[in-house]
Every structure is written in structure tokens, then in C-alpha cells.
Amino acid sequence: MSETQQQVEELIQSRYKAGFYTDIESESVGAGLNEEIIAMISAKKDEPEWMLEWRLKAFHHWQTMTGPNWAKLNLPGIDFQKIHYYSAPKQKDRPKSLDDVDPKLLETFDKLGVPLHERARLAGVAVDAVFDSVSVGTTFQKELKEAGVIFCSFSEAVQEHPELVREYLGSVVPYRDNYFACLNSAVFSDGSFVYIPEGTKCPMELSTYFRINARDTGQFERTLIIAEPGAEVSYLEGCTAPMRDENQLHAAVVELVARKKAKIKYSTVQNWYPGDENGKGGIYNFVTKRGDCREDDSRISWTQVETGSAITWKYPSCILRGDRSAGEFYSVALTHNHQQADTGTKMIHLGKNTSSKIISKGISAGKSSNSYRGLVRVARKADGARNYTQCDSLLIGKTCGAHTFPYIESANPTAKIEHEATTSRIGEDQLFYCQSRGLDEEEAVALIVDGFCKEVFKELPMEFAVEAKALLEISLEGAVG
Amino acid sequence: MLNIKNLHVAVGGEEIIKGLDLEVGPGELHAIMGPNGSGKSTLGYALAGRDGYEVTDGSVEFDGRDLLELEVEQRAAAGLFLALQYPVEIPGVNNAYFLRAALNAQRKARGEEEVDSMAFLKTVREQLKALKMDEALLKRAVNEGFSGGEKKRNEIVQLAVLQPKLAILDETDSGLDIDALKLVAEGVNRLRDENRSFIVITHYQRLLEYLVPDRVHVLSDGRIAESGDRSLAQRLEREGYAFLDTAEA
């Protein structure tokens, strides 16, 4: 490699620090999608028959569907027969504890800043680490078990807690819901399962780290979180992938169930590989996330920081079924180069005196396109529903685009719905002001963007807020000038 | 400290400063007065290096360096400070955080050690007290929702914390009532010493009653039309700028 080429490589590496590949022997099912493949995935996981039946029902339904075309995205055709739907690092037996996990895997997560082994674990945060299609380990399981909390991989939950999985799986996002959720239902491989028993406040933060590694492989994980009456949990999710010229598909489903007075806080820092500066490569991120405030006085809060992926299509939503239930959505979505994001939320008010709050911050740079799409629906019987939406866009440079698509549907005259939206450009005057005080241009942009995102960052758990801020700075490198 | 020779500055292709000479020695305070549109603010921006203020001719030496070679932030680190006529709002960015980031960026550029938050807070609190400003301002976003007077005083807080070698105050007195004006002047006077220089751009003689200038210059049509001691400012106050026309005729 010539010296300049190497410098360029290093520069790119420095921008996307998670772009490395772990050379590990893996077993995968062949490319393509059919009943046989699905049966194979199910068999590999030693699943009960009902699970396979559910997958096949989803698959048959999916075959009748067509992909969504309403988003403001330039969607490429995806050849679903070319994707590998299952890839797992080869290991003789499933490791019984984290000590048995392949050191290469542990090293990978170390490098990503998510140490799994005992000595270096993040204090106060339990981690489930998912590598391609399988969970490689979950920390602090014993401590959590003592509190009655179940935190394990989805595959493990199917084995150990089939009654819970069977009761709640698909109860928030039915397999028919949409094209990508349906595909996920047919082929999902792993993910995390959380169960917080009645009246329990989860003693630590729970988090899942998703890593795509293998080539031509899609990641289809499912997360299910159940909070029984009076339970509380804060859950974090992080994701990265190697840099590749080919696009890779990520289609996840997350279901949250909050029962009476339960509280679920779900935070995401999404940093999938965004593609290079010419728009080559990157992850296609089609995700369905939905929370069901199933009973009275429950609360679900989504916070997301989206900096990665070539395409993001994602609308974490709340169904406010219980009376006085509350939903929140805090979002920072940053797009640079040729990235496209169409993201937002849905707040469905069904119960009485329900409330929702939406704070969305979109930052566009380069030639990217960034859209907010949000639905606030108030049902006929939802007396006294309230919503507040604030939707701000910040443009950096002149070749990017920011769009806002709010949908408001109210069938109840007592509803109070407020919507505020602003679009601004990072001002030359702001940049000059910062620079005249000694900050260089990149520091100035980072500072202004950080200020713009303040309301969302303060919703993130401390260590995630720091990471999110650093991530924005890296993602914005070279955005100005 | 500052030596400007034959400076020409164009904005949007139009020449605004047309051959300006000015020498400011260490510890001196120079006042620049002049009618609207004479190029006072342009001079400030050009010295600070703002985009769009194109130096087409001339030279500026600052503390032994060629000022025009430096980027905006390098000029700041070299010890140049411009208090803006209209300080800019930066929503969501905490005032204290901003100031400390600026101070440490400058110190880093000069190869000095960064200031820790305790030492920093102590300095800022002292300055706020001297300027009779509420400490709560530190937690508010930079200039956001500040009154006109608070914004101007906030510039002086920055000045006091950043401790530049040369401070240019661009109409810092405009929009201030007499009490605020006195506080600002006191703030500046406290910072005067034999090494720190000031250029005070103002419309009114009023400020110069509190900030006694070593020299007063009248800027007209992009050049210095008249220089003198503080009595020149008093004369302008009495007679206005009309004499400039007769002087030029």
C-alpha cells in the first residue's frame, strides 16, 4: 500500500473507529430465503415447534407483501435471495460462561469499548453481546437473577422461558405489521430478552451491543422487554459494523410491554457503518420499534442517537392504551455524505388523559437527506390527550436536505396538540464568534451541534451521553469548509 | 503591540478601508470614532480575521507577528480579542462551558497547560462579581435570552477571563444605560496595565469620560482623518463630524 493510500485509510479508520473486521471461523446457512432455510435456523436454535410455525406463518405472509415506498428515501432494490440469514462464530458447544467464549470475540468487544470479562466490565451496566446472528454472552446474569430480573439472549429465553415468549412475542408488533417486521419474524436469529417482575426496579442498566461482522449477512434481531406492574428498567442499545463496499441489511424488531405503573426507558446509540464519502457501502437499517403502555399510568420513553447507516428507516412508537399513560421520544439523527434518514415516531393515544412528548433534532451535512416523519393520533375515546412536538433541523453546508412530515389525526375534540418546528443553518456569525474566542472550526461546529442536541442528550444515561457527543464530533469531521 | 500600515479592506468587492495607518503601543488605549459607515466595525472584523473581510493591501504586525497570516482562532490565541457590537447567541451551550473551552483552546494553542474547572470557576466568579452579574448566567446558554446590556457585559467577562494582549471593543457602550456603562468601564479599567492595549470603537464621547484614551482617532471614509488627544473627542461631541467635510475640502 502506498504511503498516501495508507494515510487515507487511516483517516477513514479514524472517522469510523468500529470499521474493523474480526477474522473468525463462522458457520452460516447458505444464501437465500425459503422454508428450508427458516427451518434450518430454527433447528440450529433447537426451537420448539410453535416457534417454527410462527416463523413460517410470517414467511408466507411476507411473500404476499411489497416493500414500503412512502418514505423520503431513495431505496435500492434488495435481492433477498443473496443474503445469508444466519451466521455464527464456530464453537464446539455453546459456552457455559463468559470464560469459555472465544478470546477473539472477547477481544472484538473489548476493542469496541464493551469489555465482557469480569475484571473490566462496565460498572453498573449488564451487557448482552450479539455477534452476527448469536449472542456470545451476557454479563451480570447472576446478580440480576437475585433481583428476579431475567436478562438473556432471545434464543435462551425461548428455551428457558417459553411461556413468557409465547405470550408476548408479536403482541406489540404482529408479524403482519410491515414488510421488514414480517421478514424479521420469519428469520430472526437472536437478540435480547428482558423481564422485570412486579414492583422491581432493575438494579442496573441493561444493554445490548449488536455487532455485524460476516460478509453478505443480514442481522435480524428481536428484543422483547416486559415490565410487570410497578417495574422499572433502563435499557441501552449500541451497534457497529465493519466497513465494506457492499451494503448490508439490518432489520430488527423491538417490542416493549409496560404494565400498570411500569416504566421503560429505551436508549439507542446507532452507529452502523454509514458508507464512505461517495455513498458506497453502509448498512440499510430498517427497524420496527414499538412500546405498548398496556395498562394505566405506565410510561415508555425512547431516546435515540442515530449517526450511522447508509439508510435509516425507523419510527420508535408508543401505544398509549392505559389511562394516564405517557410516551416520550427524544431523537438526534445526524446524516453526512450520502446518508439518508427517514425517522420519527408514532404516538397513538387510546386511553384517557394520556400524554406524549416528541423532541426531534435532525442534523444534515454533506449531500445527505434527513427527514422527520411523525404521527400523533388521538382516538375517539381518548379524552384529555395531550401532545407536544418539537422538531428542529440544523443544516451544515448547502448541499444537504432536511424535511419534516408531521401527521396529526385527532378524533377527539378535547385533545391538545402542539407542534413546533424550526430549520436553521449553522450561522457564519456563530462560527466566527466561537473562532474569535479561540476554538477552531471543527471544535466550533461540535460545540454548536452539541448545544442543538442538548435536550436529547440530557435524557441519555451519563456514559452514553459522553459517547453520543464524541460520536457526533467524529461523524461531523470534514463537514464544514 | 499593533502596527497597521496602509490597510485596505474590501467587503463584497467594495473597498471600505482605504489605506489606514495606526500604531498602538503596549498599555495604550486608543479610541476610534467616526460617523456611521466610516469603516469602524470593518476594521475590527478585518483585524479579527472574519470571512468576507478581504484585506487587499497593506500589512498588520501584531506583537511581532504578521497578523494577516493567522487564522481567526490563531489570532485569538496570539492575544487578540474582539468584543462584538452584537454578541451572538449559541443555544444550548452553557456559558461557563463555552468560556472554559475557549480559554483552554487558546492555552493549548500556546502550549500552556489547560485550566481545571475549579480554578476556572474561581476566576469567572470574581469577574462576574466585579461586573455585578448574576452567577446564574454561567448556567444559561451563551447570550441566549440575555438583555442587550447583559450581552455586552458578558463580552467583558470573556475579556477578563481570556486576558488578551489587545482588546478591540466594538461599540460596547451602545445600548447601555449609564449604570451599566460605568460597570463596563470599570471592568475595562481594571484590566488596563502597561502591557495590555485597547482599541475602543465608539460613537460617543460619554464612554471616554470613564475610559481615558491615550489617543483619539477619527475614521472617515476608510481612513484616519484626524488624530489627537482626548480633547478631540470632546470637540466631536460639541461639533459633530461636520468639520471633516471642511477639513477634506
User: Do the Cβ atoms of A439 and B48 come within 8 Å?
Assistant: no
Does any CB of chain A come closer than 8 Å to the CB of residue B91? yes
pLDDT for A107: 77
* A34 vs A17, more confident: A34
Between A364-368, A440-444, A460-464, the lowest mean confidence (pLDDT) is in: A460-464
User: Do the Cβ atoms of B92 and A430 come within 8 Å?
Assistant: no
Between A201-215, B14-28, B173-187, the lowest mean confidence (pLDDT) is in: A201-215
What b/e sequence results for A410-443 when a residue is b if at least 16 CB atoms lie within 10 Å of its CB, and e otherwise? beeeebebeeeeeeeebeeebbbbbbbbbbbbeb
User: Do the Cβ atoms of A436 and B50 come within 8 Å?
Assistant: yes
Nearest to B141 among A428, A434, A451 (CB): A451
Burial class (CB in 10 A: 0-12, 13-18, 19+), B185: buried
Asked if residues B73 and B105 have their Cβ atoms less than 8 Å apart, the reply is: yes
* A476 vs A305, more confident: A305
A275 min Cα distance to partner chain B (Å) = 30
- A372 bridge partner residues: A343, A404
The cell for A381 is 375515546
- Which residue from A minimizes the CA distance to B97? A447
Nearest to A448 among B50, B90, B106 (CB): B90
Residue A2 pLDDT class (50, 70, 90 cuts):
very low
Nearest to A437 among B49, B51, B102 (CB): B102
Whole-angstrom Cα distance, residue A232 to residue A265?
8
User: Do the Cβ atoms of A453 and B77 come within 8 Å?
Assistant: no
What b/e sequence results for A187-211 when a residue is b if at least 16 CB atoms lie within 10 Å of its CB, and e otherwise? bbbbbbbbbbbeebebebbbbbbbb
Q: Which residues of A touch B48 (CB under 8 A)?
A: 432, 436
pLDDT for A13: 46
pLDDT for A3: 47
DSSP B197: E
Mutate to test the interface with A, among B42, B72, B114 (most CBs of A within 10 A): B72
Q: Give the mean pLDDT of A217-233.
A: 92
User: Do the Cβ atoms of A428 and B141 come within 8 Å?
Assistant: no
Asked if residues A20 and A109 have their Cβ atoms less than 8 Å apart, the reply is: no
Between A191-205, B82-96, B150-164, B231-245, the lowest mean confidence (pLDDT) is in: B231-245
pLDDT digits (tens, 9 = 90+) for A260-285: 999 999 998 888 777 788 878 888 88
**Rounded to two decimals, what is the model's pTM?**
0.82
Q: Where are the domains of chain B?
A: 2-248
* A224 vs A92, more confident: A224
Closest listed residue to residue A184, CA positions, set A133, A258, A127 = A133
* Integer angstrom CA distances of residue B101 from A140, A148, A368, A438: 38, 45, 30, 9
pLDDT for A119: 56
CB neighbours of B242 closer than 8 A, spacing ≥ 6?
none
pLDDT at B247 over 60: no
Strongest mean pLDDT among A158-162, A249-253, A451-455: A158-162
Q: Give the mean pLDDT of A130-143.
A: 73
From the options 3.40.50.300, 3.40.50.10900, 3.20.20.150, 1.10.510.10, give the CATH code of B2-248: 3.40.50.300
Report the sign of the C-alpha dihedral through residues A282, A283, A286, A290, in that order: negative
User: Do the Cβ atoms of B48 and A436 come within 8 Å?
Assistant: yes
